[in-house]
Amino acid sequence: MKNHAITLEDRYCAHNYEPLPVVLSSGKGIWLWDQDGKRYMDMMSAYSAVSFGHSHPTLVAALSKQAGQLAVVSRAFYSDQLGPFLQLLCEMTGMPKALPMNSGAEAVETAIKAARKWGHKVKGIADQTAEIIVCRGNFAGRTTTIVGFSSEAQYRDGFGPFSGGFATVPFGDAAALEAAITPRTAAFLVEPIQGEAGIIVPPEGYLAKCREICDRHNVLLICDEVQTGLGRTGRLLASDHDGIKPDGLILGKALGGGLLPVSAFLAREDLMAVFTPGDHGSTFGGNPLSAAVGHAALRLLREEKLADNAQRMGERLLTGLRAIQHPAIRQVRGKGLLIGMDLDPGFISAREFCERLMQQGILSKDTHDTVVRFAPPLIITANDIDAALEAIKHTFSSLLTPPAHLTERSYA
Q: Which residues make Cβ contacts (< 8 Å) with residue 7, sequence separation at least 6? A: none
Strand, coil or helix: what is 253? helix
Q: How far apart are the first and last CA of the chain?
A: 7
Q: Which amino acid is at 44?
A: M
Please indicate whether residue 224 is annotated as part of the active site: yes
Buried b / exposed e over 337-368, threshold 16 CB at 10 Å, is bbbbbbbeeebbbbbebbbbbbbbebbbbbbe
Query: Cα dist. 380→50, 108, 182, 308, 362 in Å?
Result: 12, 29, 46, 12, 13
Strand, coil or helix: what is 158? coil
| Burial class, 250, CB count within 10 angstroms (exposed 0-12 / middle 13-18 / buried 19+) | buried
Q: Which residues make Cβ contacts (< 8 Å) with residue 140, sequence separation at least 6? A: 104, 105, 108, 134, 146, 149, 189, 191, 224, 226
Please indicate whether residue 279 is annotated as part of the active site: no
**d(C-alpha 310, C-alpha 303), whole Å:** 14
Query: Cα dist. 240→196, 208, 232, 234 in Å?
Result: 21, 10, 12, 9
| Burial class, 131, CB count within 10 angstroms (exposed 0-12 / middle 13-18 / buried 19+) | buried
CA 163 to chain centre: 24
Catalytic one of 42, 224, 247, 366: 224
List 34's β-bridge partners, or say none: 24
Query: Cα dist. 135→24, 138, 147, 170, 243 in Å?
Result: 36, 6, 13, 5, 21
Please indicate whether residue 139 is annotated as part of the active site: yes
Catalytic one of 34, 42, 85, 139: 139
Catalytic one of 253, 353, 366, 374: 253
Q: Which residues are catalytic, by number?
A: 139, 224, 253
